[in-house]
Amino acid sequence: MTNPTQEWPLFEIFIRGQHGLSHRHVGSLHAPDAEMAIKNARDVYTRRNEGVSIWVVQASDIAASSPEEKGSLYEPANDKVYRHPTFFDIPEEVGAM
């Protein structure tokens, strides 16, 4: 097994279909950059339907509201949607984490 280098970042994919009113979140995928993310989204999430509009956003760039709060039972929310560990840059010499 090859030693891992840097994983392709995660992108969130939003698509407006032919008759769709607004872009809708359809899922995520990995890509080296936004341009390739759009191409990958076309292959993964539209299977090439034409006439759709695709938005991609790197997952780490999304800010989100806190989850629904019921009393004080929930911990104060952090400001990222997902708890992806890729948000943290771990030096290579530290090893897998």
Partner 1 sequence: MYAQMIKSTGEGVKSLDEMEPQERAFQERINAGGKIEPKDWMPDGYRKNLIRQIGQHAHSEIVGQLPEGNWITRAPTLERKAILLAKVQDEAGHGLYLYCAAETLGVTRDQLTRDLLSGKMKYSSIFNYPTLTWADMGAVGWLVDGAAIMNQVPLQRTSYGPYARAMVRICKEESFHQRQGYDIMMKMAKGTKAQKKMAQDALNRFWGPALMMFGPSDENSVHSAQSMAWKIKMNSNDELRQKFVDECVPQAEYLGLTVPDPDLKWNEERGHYDFTQPDWDEFFDVLRGNGPCNKERLAARNKAWDDGAWVRDGLMAHAAKKRAAKLAAE
Partner 2 sequence: MSDNLFEFLCRMGDNTLVLGHRVSEWCGHAPVLEEDIALANTALDLIGQTTLWLDLAGEVEGAGRDADKLAFHRDVWGFRNLLLVEQPNGDFGQTMMRQFLFDAWHLSQLNALMDSSNTQIAAIAEKSAKEVTYHLERATETVIGLGDGTEESHNRMQAALDKLWPYVGEMFTLDDVDAAMVDAGIAPDPASLRPAYDALLDDVFAAATLTKPQDDFGHQGGKSGKRHSEHLGHMLAQMQWLQRAYPDATW
Q: Is 34 helix (H, G, I), strand (E, B) or coil?
A: helix
Of the candidate residues 22, 51, 75, 95, the single one contacting partner 1 (CB under 8 A): 75
Question: Helices marked H in 3-91 — which ranges?
Answer: 34-45
Q: How far is the CB of 44 from partner 1 (least distance, A)?
A: 6
Contact range with partner 1 by CB under 8 A, out of 15-23, 49-57, 83-91 = 83-91
Supply the Cα-derived Rg of the chain in whole angstroms: 17
Q: What is the contact surface with partner 2 in residues (CB under 8 A)?
A: 8, 29-32, 35-36, 39-40, 42-44, 47-48, 50
| Cβ 73 vs Cβ 83: under 8 Å | no
Of the candidate residues 24, 49, 53, 64, the single one contacting partner 1 (CB under 8 A): 64
